[in-house]
Chain A
Amino acid sequence: MDITRKYEFVDEAEANEAIDLLRDEEGNLTESVVKLGYLTITPAQYDEEGNTIKEAVVSTKYAVDVSWSITPLQSWEAYIVWPTPMGIHNYGSSSQRDEYAKTYCELYPDSEYCNPPEITEE
């Protein structure tokens, strides 16, 4: 089964170096990759005419999601990140999303995501 993993790089050039390792002899990508870029943390605000009232706040890291059909390359391990499932970008099949969430909870068993609070009112 394919698995989805998420990565952050210093910039696009560093991401491209890693992505180039996923190309075959003809230069075709052998894995499915989505370059998310510098993620928006807080969206920009615009007025009625489209003028920017407040600039967006964006991450300083360059984000890339990969749907791996093979065991993820060791060289990518240094860049892996684990946002709360599945971060701001859903990628892969529903089975891949379940696998990501399951692995996340194995890595972070005490996180609130893996232990949703129960009601106390009753």
Chain B
Amino acid sequence: MSFYNDASLVFLPSGGAGKDGKAYSMKPVPEYGSELVTNGGFDTDSDWNLTSGGTDANISNGKANFVNAVKGQRIQQNFSFTAAKTYKVVFTVSNYTSGLLGFYMGGVYAVSNINANGTYTYLVTPTNNAEAFLRAMQTGVSHNFSVDDISVREVVVGDGDFTFSRGSNLTATRVDSNGLIEKGRENLLTQSNNFSDSDWTKATGNIVTGGQSGYDGSTDAWEIESPSNNYIFRRTNTQGGVQTLSIYVKKNTSYGIRLYAFGTDNANVYYDLNTGVVVARDSDVIDDSITDVGNDWWRITMTYNQTNTQLYFYVTDNSNTLVSGGTLVVQDAQLEQSLVATEYIESGATKGKAGILEHSPRFDYSGGASCPSLLLEPSRTNSFNYSEYFGGLTKLNATLETNNTTSPEGLQNASRFLSAENDTLSKYIDFQGSAPPSTENQVFSLFVKNYNHRYIQLINNGDADLYANFDIANGIIGNYGSGTTASIEDYGNGWYRCTIVCDGSQNNINSACRIYLVDSLTQGYANQTNVALGNGVYIWGAMQENNASYPTSYIPNHSGGSVTREADFCEGAGTSSTFNDAEGVLYAEIAALADDGTNKYISINNGGTDDYLFLRYRSDNRFQVRYRSNNTDSLNETFDLSNNLDFNKIAVSYKRNEFKIFVNGSQIGSTDTSGTIFNVSVDNLDFESFNGGSNFYGKVKQVIVFNTALSDVELTALTS
């Protein structure tokens, strides 16, 4: 048989299988009925009723417009639909300035609080056959927005997509298909290449002219002229922390530019566009660069760490003097929370975003995997104020060079940590975070690469039992303290993620963690060792997770405070037609993140507590399969997998008087010949318990649902 052809639901993580708020399944392919709405494009002022007198809404310019509408204003059409059937509703909101929009259908509000432009999609199951309408929802507020392209169609076959949420973009990462760590990114400058926009404050008399030839072959560049000795642009930026400002620039009648971030500190850099060199900088600048991008264009960058800044751009000459009447050509400005400039992201009226987005599932290629897995993690906080910028940290007998080499992210934003003394002395960097509550654990992780030295030690500064030694040339763990467990993971290109988990039940854990340069794998806690002057390692990606027993994926932090990545939620796939109550198979290829004593479920359910099927890693770290019908067990088996952290292929086949479990090509126990099938239909597949909670935190390579029971031969093949 072809398993994918015969399955009713197939979820396979891959590059195109997710977007903001969805994790897509390959099957079932949804089918929809004919369009129920007439004139959904509002091409003519017909077919729609504008109720509440119709004075607060109109149809014009191809849209339905709410204009200073009060609560209760409707735009309505009487099309035919049937209670208890499910309908897909899609419409687009534009020109939004105020109020809340709702959509009502047959006794149900699909939504009642739309407050932004966008295209919205909902599934609605009406409870009666009466009216449907768009409605202004907010008391005492004028509603002003337009609606277009409304469509309502019956769902004949529902999709098998999961609803996905996380609520974090900039703090979430994954390992991409190139083996590099990918972050969420954001251009903090709105109208990033629209210098005539009012978001760019211009000094009196300054002139900007668009339509110039750009560095990228476009005509999207801007000539700027400063007729006075003043700035050409100013931007207010209240976001704090480590930031990098960048802009593409080309000489014209002038050949110098100055970037100035004025705030809690003053970061200033002068660039010479003739020679391509930085000619002056302030000490408050962390880093700067000028990079030739061809045809006399340069990308210039300035990195600083401060809050509440005004950003200024000036035209200068080669003696760093402001030029009156000088001109330059500029394009594509970007401000980002980063130690280096990354690929340009266009911003319009809202900030441009790229990489890991809010509510986007993470398809992860960790460990050199050729096929990705869906990564589902709990919420975690990185308590270190900075995860990549270490310039402000206390260090002893050591030097630190920021942006010295290429990191596991593929950018030159890793630091070099070198011994500054030849004597037998401690050489360390001290990372300050926060202490966990009494008896709770702490995880300290750091990416480390051999520069010309192979041995390091990680410690928590609170107790002599909290340390481990690592050989980061060969990926080996050495001596470690009695209150510590250690791990080392290869991230490629010589980088290892070294981790210590500090046991808080017996030890005093404090807020400070350190990396030491040591001279062997057998060194004791924080010993003074002989590491020669100039020897050292590269470091990047520091992370401290409190109340945690294992490390999770890297959480970047440039904020100056702690940051939290929220938990992943993946739930709600399928409808009653996806699952067969009489017989079927649930198959999953999964790995747990840790044996951490928590329950981690995958379940088929109907939201109740009487009829469900689940797979779970139990709190005692055993594995359990349970099929329950009418609050009675038809199947309930608990067993041990060889390793919960490895990918295991697990299939459960159910049919009246025939229940069986196969794992990695073999049957577990014997076929149960006495059970009954679901009493109340199931309609939902969740990565959580049958009644919510106890989320599955792990990695998922595939999940498949069949609507028929499979033979032993088929189950063996499926799980092999």
Contact = CB atoms under 8 A, between A and B. Distances in A.
Contacts of B262: 117-119
Interface in B275-321: 308-310, 312
Contacts of A48: 396, 426, 526
A28 B693 contact: yes
Contact of A89 (B169, B561, B567): B561
Interface string B549-568: 00000000101011110110
Nearest to A105: B238
Nearest to B201: A118
A113 interface: yes
B170 A94 contact: yes
B569 to A, nearest CB: 10
B432 A90 contact: no
Interface in B310-336: 310, 312, 322
Interface in B387-409: 396
Interface in A82-122: 85-98, 101, 112-114, 116-119, 122
Contacts of B562: 36, 88-90
The main secondary structure of chain B at its interface with chain A is loop
A118 B310 contact: yes
Nearest to B322: A122
B232 to A, nearest CB: 12
A79 B493 CA distance: 49
Given A44-B510, A118-B310, A94 B186 contact: yes
A15 to B, nearest CB: 13
Given A50-B526, A93-B167, A43 B563 contact: no
B493 to A, nearest CB: 29
B564 A89 contact: yes
A28 to B, nearest CB: 4
Contact of A116 (B236, B566, B693): B236
A48 B512 CA distance: 11
A88 B385 CA distance: 9
Contact of B566 (A26, A32, A86, A101): A32
A26 B691 contact: yes
B567 A116 contact: no
A48 B461 CA distance: 9
The main secondary structure of chain A at its interface with chain B is loop
A94 B692 contact: no
A114 B236 CA distance: 9
Interface in B200-243: 229-231, 234, 236-239
Nearest to A40: B434
Contacts of A116: 236-238, 263, 308-310
Contacts of A50: 461-463, 510, 512, 526
A101 to B, nearest CB: 6
A34 B309 contact: no
A37 B263 contact: no
A57 interface: no
B385 to A, nearest CB: 8
Given A88-B562, A92-B566, A94-B353, A26 B511 contact: no
Nearest to B311: A116
A93 B168 contact: yes
Nearest to B172: A93
Contacts of A91: 563-564
B17 interface: no
A34 B231 contact: no
Given A32-B379, A116-B308, A27 B693 contact: yes
Considering residues A36, A67, A95, A97, which has the most beta carbons from chain B within 10 angstroms of its beta carbon?
A95
Contacts of A112: 308
Given A56-B511, A93-B358, A122-B231, A88 B167 contact: no
A101 B170 contact: no
A65 B167 CA distance: 14
A121 B458 CA distance: 47
Contacts of B563: 89-91
B238 A92 contact: no
Contacts of B229: 122
A34 B526 CA distance: 33
Interface in A28-52: 28, 32, 34, 36-37, 40, 43-44, 46, 48-50
Contact of A44 (B116, B511, B559): B511
A78 interface: no
Interface string B171-201: 1000000000000101000000000000000
B567 A32 contact: yes
B238 A95 contact: no
B125 interface: no
8 contacts: A85-B238, A90-B564, A93-B168, A112-B308, A116-B237, A116-B263, A118-B262, A122-B230
Interface of B: 115-116, 167-171, 184, 186, 229-231, 234, 236-239, 260, 262-263, 308-310, 312, 322, 351, 353, 358, 379, 381, 396, 426, 432, 434, 437, 461-463, 510-512, 526, 557, 559, 561-564, 566-567, 689, 691-693
Interface of A: 1-2, 24, 26-28, 32, 34, 36-37, 40, 43-44, 46, 48-50, 56, 65, 67, 85-98, 101, 112-114, 116-119, 122
